Amino acid sequence: MKNKFETRAIREQAERTQHREHSVPVYLTSSFVFDSAEHGQALFAGDIEGNVYSRYSNPSTDEFIRKICLLEDAEDGIATASGMAAVFAGIAGLLESGDHILVARSVFGSTHQILTQLLPRWNITHTYVDIGKPERWEAEIQKNTRMLFLETPSNPGLDLIDLEFAGNLSRKHNLILNVDNCFATPYLQQPGRYGTDLIVHSATKFIDGQGRTIGGVVVGRKELIEELRFFARHSGPAMSPFNAWVLSKSLETLAVRMDRHCENALALAQFLENHPKIASVKYPFLPSHPQYELACRQMTQGGGVLVFNFSEGFDPARKFIDRLQMLSISSNLGDTRTIVTHPASTTHSKLTEDERLSVGITPGLVRISAGLEHIDDIIGDVEQALG
C-alpha cells in the first residue's frame, strides 16, 4: 500500500547510521574516502554507486532529492544552490545551439532574463505564447523547437495553464515539457500526472517555508535527469549539504503549512474582493477567477499567493504598502510571515512596460504571500493600511 503524501514527506530518510539516530544528521563534508585505489577507480568509472565529492552527491542532498521525487512521482532529480540555478540547468542542460524553446508568457522576472539575455548568446531562441490563447500555441512550434516551458499558477498574475493540454501538445510534437511548480508545490499539484517531463522548484519558497535558506530542485524522467546531472556536476551549481538537510526537514511540515497558507490566502482574497478600494482580486480558488474550474480540476487548493489591483495605479499601491505595520515588505514569498510585494517595481522591473502589461502586471498590482499568522491579524493590518 502506497503511503499518503504527509507520511512520505516525513518517513523517507537517509539510512540510519551506527549511532541509531532518530533525526537524520547533516553530512557536512566536501569529500569521501575510498576503501582502496580500485574502489576509487570503480566509483569514478561509474561501475559502482557511491559518494565521491559533495559537488557530485552527498547523503543529505540525496535524501532531499529522493523526497521530492517521491512527492512528485518522478524517477530522478538533481538539487541546485538556488531556484534560478534549477531553472537554468533545466533549460541549458538540455538545449543546444540552434534549438528553440516555446514559453508560456508570464514567467518569473529572472527566467525572462535567462530567455532574453543569456540563451541568445548560445543561439538558443524562444517564442512567447499567450497563456489565455492556448489554441494558438501549436502554430508557434518550429522545426527546431525542443521544449515547452511554463509556470502554473504564474508569477505574479496567477494565470493557469491546462496541464493535460500541455502534456498532449508536447507528446504530439515530441517536446520536453518543463513545468515550474513553485507556487503550487507537490502538495497541491503534481504535473507529472499529465505527462510532464521535468518539474522545477525554487525550494527557497514554500518548500523551505520559513525564509531561512535558498535552493532549487529539478525532478523528472531519468534519461533527462542524467543529462542534467552531467551538466550540473561540471558547471557546479551544487546545493550545500546543510541547506539540503534544512529543506528535507522542511518537507516534513509542508502539508500542514500549505493547508494554513491556503486557508489564509482564500480568506484574505474574499475580504479584498468585497473592499470598495480594490478594483480586482485574483486567486485560483475564488469563483471569480476566470480559470476557477481548471484550478479545481488540477489543484487540490488555491495556494498561498493572491494578487489585487488598485485601478488608480502605483500611488495608492505605494501608500498601501507604506502604511503596513505588521506585514513584511519583501520580494520573497512562501514564508511563515505574510509578505507584500509590488511586482512592477521589484521582481518584474526588468521587463518593459508593454511586457508587464501583456501579462497583467499593472502599476497598481500588489502580490501577497499569505503567511501562517492568525487571519484576523493579517486582515487587520491590510484593512488599516487601506485606510
Beta strands in the chain (DSSP E): 76-80, 100-104, 125-129, 145-151, 176-180, 198-202, 216-220, 280-282, 305-309, 328-329, 339-341, 365-369
Q: What type of residue is 310?
A: F
pLDDT at 312: 86
- CB neighbours (10 Å) of residue 241? 22
Instruction: For the chain, list residues with pLDDT below 50.
Output: none
Domain ranges of the chain: 5-251, 254-386
Fold held by 5-251: Aspartate Aminotransferase; domain 2 (3.40.640)
pLDDT at 233: 95
Overall CATH class of domain 254-386: alpha beta
Nearest to residue 83, comparing CAs of 181, 225, 229, 10?
181
Give the Å distances, CA to CA, from 143 to 139, 168, 173, 176, 289: 11, 18, 10, 14, 36
pLDDT at 261: 98
Q: What type of residue is 234?
A: H
pLDDT at 235: 97
pLDDT at 352: 83
Task: Decide: helix, strand or coil at residue 340.
Answer: strand
